[in-house]
Amino acid sequence: MKSAEEEAYAFTPNVTLSLPLGNPCLPLQFHGLQSGPAISVSVSEPHSYDAQEDVNAAAFYSSPGARPNGAPTLESPRIEITAYGQFPEDEVEQSSLPVAKQVNSIVTLTLPSGEGYRDPSCLSPASSVSSRSCHSEASFESGFSYNYDNSPQNSPWQSPSVSPKGSTLALPGEGCAPGGSPRHSPSTSPRTSITDDTWMGQRNSRPNSPCGAKRKYSLNGSGTQHKQYPYSPNHSPGPSPHTSPRLSVTEETWLPNTNQYTNSAILAAINALTTDGVVDLGEGIPMKARKTSLEHSPTVSLKVEPGSSELVSGHLCDDDHPSNRMSLKKEGYCGGFLDVPQHPYSWSKPKQYVSPSVPALDWQLPSSSGPYSLQIEVQPKSHHRAHYETEGSRGAVKALAGGHPVVQLHGYMENEPLTLQLFIGTADDRLLRPHAFYQVHRITGKTVSTPSHETLHNNTKVLEIPLLPENNMRAIIDCAGILKLRNSDIELRKGETDIGRKNTRVRMVFRIHINQPTGRTVSLQVASNPIECSQRSAQELPLVDQQSLETCPAHGGEKMLLNGHNFQHDSKVVFVEKAQDGHHLWETEAKVDRDASKTNSLLIEVPQYRNQRISTPVHVNFYVCNGKRKRSQCQHFTYVPASVPTIKTEPHDDFDAPLMCTQHGSGVALHPKPYFPPQVMTPMMSADLRQCVVGGAYPVTQDRLTPKPSSLPTSSSPSTSPKLHDLSPPHFAKCLPAVPHSPLPHISIIQETPGRYALPSLYPPSSSSSSPTSQPSTPTDAPFSPTHCVTPVQPVSGSTSPDAQQQQAKVPERGRSSLQEDDGSLTLAISIKQEPQELDQMYLDDGE
């Protein structure tokens, strides 16, 4: 650790990044908080810095922007951050101790070394980097060529980063700067970073783990690592470890600071200010802010692949500024990029959006906008045992029916390939955000047909997959596994609020950024159904994947088929109604048709609601119970007035609504109670949701969007839709919640303006929950989202929200099929389950 620290120090001093922000815009927004000036961060690594510096300004920004810091944000004012930090991460943040303070001048961001950073860093680091990453990285090579421009260049860097596990995290920075010490990286890397929160130091501690992991993997890892080492060596040995931090650091520094600085308010303001162009910046900025949360690291990408690559930093890097990237990010996501060698463009694109524009990962984005619709054609299985850094890979996430998840972008007629981003998000009721305890893990090998490359965004690993016109903008996701970070590592991060225990459900979140002629970027996002990642849960806990009914008259009596896993003969299905304060208002057990039930399906009779005279739909929950502590997540259900056909309401259920309609025929929308409090409900949300365009899109999108609204309602989509498990609910929830049901179906849009800011407030709670990441980010996020989401209504509206669309798409598959198959009798389509509202609650409930 010391070393790390030392290193950090070493580095820190010098580096200061100025976040320039090229974008004026950004600055504004951003930072408002921040201050106008640019923020200079001291980075630990010289290299990076240098590079950065070189890059300088604008360009840099962009890249930086990419980073969380969002240079953009910075722009105007600059904030220098000083980190006391000792550790690499700190570096970034604190890096130059001395300096930093000075810097502070403006704002003092002194980042607490700990917290802010950690959070951000933590997440990322650990996760991202984690040894695995390294591995993965290794794999990388194998796979693909690196087109990424930079990649080659990057490679060095990358490698460093990569090599160590941690490195990954650190990658960028680390590698560079420090030279990353090989050693560290290896060991600690991931955790370390995290653990360390303290950053580096800690790393040490953890480092191990990975290392410790030793096992075969270690071998592997080692192998990988070794490979990496080579690189790392280049970097400096010491550094590497730090790296993890580093990345984060860098980013962190940026981000964190930003975050800190930025208040939601500021963000909001910024957002307001932001513009398309800015978008990027803005995004960047926001990102940073967010960063705090998970992402901190801006875009830096870590992974390095062997070959290449690349590092990817993804976004950040613009191709243009290789230097920057390199230095800074090493990763330059660019490089990292894909393996897919052939299509250079692919990378290029990444670059495009990469830069600043990309919205923070915790922003809520619509799944469709204007003509574009990002859909998950094939959903992943509900269970996937994630692997620890100490284990070998447990393979790629698979689809229910075999094969792998499939994602497709509809409505895109251009000939230019795009980059699909994938990260692991939360699956609780709160807004969708990067999961603090899980990271996407790149899978490579013969069995993998889809090229990909890893990048880091504010401590969240993001897998970038090319979407090619020749493949109809469709990608088979056979290259994505899920890495579990140790709870202890993550929870130690400063700022982390979420707990890892029993927080084992995730969603695969896909994003696409489409540049518009106008210069704006339309960003779409789709989340998969929840995926249970724990070994135990997968083996023992009942899980409801789909339910044939979303609503039922208060008198009950209707048959509902539940599809899922781990059902037992003695499984009970309990309906419960809770007050907002959590008090149990009602609880009853449904009759289970044991004869018609199997381990993967339960046929039950919806129990009579406690009040037969309800005049409005009542939202309740139900869960399958196999025993004291073996309960499924809560599923949503709505009782409607007996005389009135109803439609679903819940926010989550938005998706469902359509289904509901179909079933009952009426299309009435319920009003659901939004799970999410009122906040969500706000109009803003609704409008915005759909469209959140990132950066710029906005205007454009809006237009498109707008129209849609009308369409939305109409569109069958609603009707059709099956439910989407998607995250959407969550996301939307905040954003959309109510909307869906309302006349305008899901139109939720992200709001911009005020709303945004407002939103933040809303989110906060939830977001925070997720973990540090979320927290920090949240604030930021909020701002962003608002901004981006310009258009409230989207064309999709019909589809409702993107989610809805997705859902629909999905639904059909699952729901319908399932229903039919399962029960002929069941008329309704099965909708997919939503997730429990909140994992946390669930857990709590469990206790009960």
Partner DNA sequence: ACCCCCCTATGGAGGGGGTAT
Partner DNA sequence: CTATACCCCCTCCATAGGGGG
Summarize as ranges the residues that interact with DNA (CB under 7 A): 135, 138-139, 209, 212-217, 219-220, 223, 385, 387-396, 398, 443, 445-448, 481, 484, 486-489, 499-504, 534-537, 539-540, 628-629, 843, 846-848
The shares of helix, strand and coil residues in the chain, as percent rounded to the nearest 5, are 45, 20, 40
Instruction: State the alpha helices, DSSP H only, in 672-747.
Output: 678-681, 683-689, 698-705, 707-714, 716-720, 728-735, 738-741
Least distance from DNA to the Cβ atom of residue 217, Å: 7
- Choose between 402 and 824: whose C-beta lies nearer to DNA: 402
Least distance from DNA to the Cβ atom of residue 807, Å: 27
The pairing of strands 418-426 and 460-467 is antiparallel
d(CA 336, CA 122): 22
- Choose between 217 and 637: whose C-beta lies nearer to DNA: 217
- Choose between 398 and 591: whose C-beta lies nearer to DNA: 398
Least distance from DNA to the Cβ atom of residue 495, Å: 18
Contacts of 446 (CB under 8 A, 6+ apart): none
d(CA 432, CA 361): 9
DSSP helix/strand/coil, 774: helix
Distances, alpha carbon 811 to alpha carbons 132, 638, 714, 725, 728, in Å:
34, 18, 18, 9, 14
Least distance from DNA to the Cβ atom of residue 592, Å: 22
Least distance from DNA to the Cβ atom of residue 806, Å: 25
Q: What angle, 0 to 180 degrees and rounded to 10, lies between the N-to-C axes of helices 2-14 and 46-55?
A: 20
- Choose between 380 and 783: whose C-beta lies nearer to DNA: 380
Least distance from DNA to the Cβ atom of residue 229, Å: 14
Provide the token pair at 73: 């944000």
d(CA 146, CA 124): 23
Contacts of 143 (CB under 8 A, 6+ apart): 305, 339, 444, 445, 448, 451, 452
Alpha carbon 95 to chain centroid distance? 27
Least distance from DNA to the Cβ atom of residue 382, Å: 14
- Choose between 207 and 755: whose C-beta lies nearer to DNA: 207
What is the H or E stretch that residue 582 is in? none
Contacts of 267 (CB under 8 A, 6+ apart): 29, 30, 32, 33, 286, 289, 756, 757, 760, 779, 780, 781, 782, 783, 784
3-state SS, 290-335, equals HHHCCCCCCCCCCCCCCCCCCCECHHHCCCCCHHHHHHHHCCEHHH
d(CA 736, CA 647): 17
What is the H or E stretch that residue 184 is in? helix 184-196
Least distance from DNA to the Cβ atom of residue 34, Å: 35
- Choose between 31 and 383: whose C-beta lies nearer to DNA: 383
- Choose between 141 and 822: whose C-beta lies nearer to DNA: 141
- Choose between 502 and 610: whose C-beta lies nearer to DNA: 502
- Choose between 680 and 842: whose C-beta lies nearer to DNA: 842
Least distance from DNA to the Cβ atom of residue 112, Å: 24
- Choose between 448 and 782: whose C-beta lies nearer to DNA: 448
Least distance from DNA to the Cβ atom of residue 581, Å: 19
d(CA 257, CA 280): 18
Least distance from DNA to the Cβ atom of residue 86, Å: 24
- Choose between 219 and 585: whose C-beta lies nearer to DNA: 219
- CA angle centred on 89, ends 86 and 95, rounded to 5°: 50
d(CA 77, CA 24): 10
- Choose between 194 and 294: whose C-beta lies nearer to DNA: 194
In total, the chain counts a number of residues equal to 848
Least distance from DNA to the Cβ atom of residue 846, Å: 7
Least distance from DNA to the Cβ atom of residue 31, Å: 35
d(CA 34, CA 18): 12
- Choose between 613 and 628: whose C-beta lies nearer to DNA: 628
